[in-house]
Amino acid sequence: MLQKSTVAATPVIVHAGEGQVVSAYGSQILFKLTGEQSAGQLTVGLAMVPPGVGPPPHREGADELFIIVEGRYEVLTEGRRTEVGPGAVVYHPKGCVHAFRNIGDTVARHWVLNAAGDFARFFERSAELFAAPGGPDPARLAEIAREHGSELV
């Protein structure tokens, strides 16, 4: 797990069309800011989620915020389901069990801001497993989550 750095972050500007696209859990995230760029303080990405897709219930090792741009999601938060759409903000504090799923019939998009500087690295490592022949090994996915301070529930 990337530790928050004692080194001060330096300013970063990422232009439209720039960033790194990573695919895992059936979705893609265009990472615009990673822990390497923010001295381990923050990860920011634009998630693109196909219809019917979403990650399994999990708890993050850091606070996480979604800003819904387009589409409709069903969000599971500590056992309660809520439908949200464009303009909604969803905050999950560290340790909160949550999940989401695109319940629309088009690709949904949301910004994800994660207070863990290693969220992009977690997603990259998971993507490697999703790209493997036969798909990901659930035990290995759970292990990667634990290594990054999260848990698949």
Q: What pLDDT, in 10s, does the model give residues 74-106? A: 999 999 999 999 999 999 999 999 999 999 999
User: In the chain, which ranges are E strands?
Assistant: 20-24, 27-33, 43-49, 58-59, 64-70, 73-77, 80-84, 89-92, 97-102, 108-114, 151-152
Question: CA-CA distance, 134 to 2, in Å (whole number)?
Answer: 29
Query: Per the structure, how many domains does the chain have?
Result: 1
Tens digits of per-residue pLDDT, 21-30? 999 999 999 9
Instruction: Identify whether 13 is part of a domain.
Output: no
Q: What one-letter code names the amino acid at 80?
A: R
Instruction: Identify whether 61 is part of a domain.
Output: yes
Mean pLDDT, the chain, integer: 93
Instruction: Identify whether 15 is part of a domain.
Output: no
Instruction: Kindly report the CATH number assigned to the domain that includes residue 82.
Output: 2.60.120.10
Instruction: Identify whether 78 is part of a domain.
Output: yes
Q: What one-letter code names the amino acid at 47?
A: A
Q: Rg (Cα) of the chain, in Å, rounded?
A: 15
What is the model's pTM? 0.90
Sheet-wide strand order for 43-49:
20-24, 27-33, 43-49, 108-114, 64-70, 89-92
Residue 3 has pLDDT above 80, yes or no: no
Retrieve residue 48's tokens. Answer: 């693109």
Instruction: Identify whether 91 is part of a domain.
Output: yes
Instruction: Identify whether 14 is part of a domain.
Output: no
Instruction: Identify whether 8 is part of a domain.
Output: no
Instruction: Identify whether 26 is part of a domain.
Output: yes
pLDDT band at residue 117, thresholds of 50, 70 and 90?
A: confident
Q: Which domain holds residue 129?
A: 20-152
